[in-house]
Amino acid sequence: MNRPLTAFLCFSMFLAIPAAAQYSPYFVTYDHHMEEPGNLEITTQSTVGIQKHDLPTYWAPLVELEYGATGWWSTSLYLEGASAPHDATVFTGYRLENRFKPLKRDHWINPVLYFEFENINEASRIQKEVVGHAEPSNETLSSLRGEKARELEGKLILSSNAKGWNFAENFIVEKNLTEDEGVEFGYSLGVYRPLATLASGTDCRLCRENFTAGVELYGGLGSTEQFGFSDTAHYIAPAIAWRASENSTIRFSPGFGLTTNGARTLLRFSYTYEISGFGSAVRNMFRGDK
């Protein structure tokens, strides 16, 4: 049995155990926690890809604006880019994401429906998800920036909380609207918990309750043309999040490639700042309220 299949099966069995942390350290996996209604989150994120086969290291930054439209609907705009040494720095496109939580209260398993429209080009390197097949390529970013890709992506997100733990499973379906390459599939599995579930009672930003730690396993599952683990990329990524202040969170995750076709390492870092009551402030501004 190959390594990605073994890891996938073991991780799936582990996640079958019933399992709330407040601040997710995930970079790829989604859980069922939604943005608070009326709040705006601004996130800057960077992915540094250290590749195999003597391919160049790249840097892929993104900016995310996430707004809590209601208690059951969160919507996001992503702007992304890519840069590589001795190549180019390019804008790779935008993404529009919407998540819907059909159940009002928390349950043992909480489903969330995810839909995303991507207007990007083939130079995209943020690896917000991993789907389909993976083939190492030495094409430059400057040559790929002209190859457009409009894609639709859907996810079924299942997430559970128990005794301070969060367990999340994502199944991903993606369709490229500009190329006839079938429907691509992927997965992401994650588990995390806070380092302490009880507050220390002191005003301390470095206290254990302000940190959450976890691990993700994610990768491609082929496509309708060839489903399975053949020629796919898979990663395992420990992750940590630090609630640096009441409004800001810092996350870090090193992801390690498990297959030949993936990158050697994906180093991810993000900073998030949350603006509470943003929606109410904007509405009052347009009404002229003081």
pLDDT, tens only, 2-45: 444 344 334 333 333 333 335 799 999 999 999 999 999 999 99
The total number of structural domains that make up the chain: 1
Q: Which of 71, 79, 72 is nearest to 96 (CA)?
A: 79
Q: Could you tell me the CATH number of the domain that includes residue 235?
A: 2.40.160.40
* Mean pLDDT score, 233-261: 96
* Mean pLDDT score, 154-165: 95
Distance of CA 151 to the CA centre of its chain: 17
pLDDT, tens only, 260-277: 999 999 999 999 999 999
Domain that holds residue 38: 3-287
Residue whose token pair is 């206290």 = 207
Residue whose token pair is 């059951």 = 72
Q: How far apart are CA 9 and CA 58, in angstroms?
A: 31
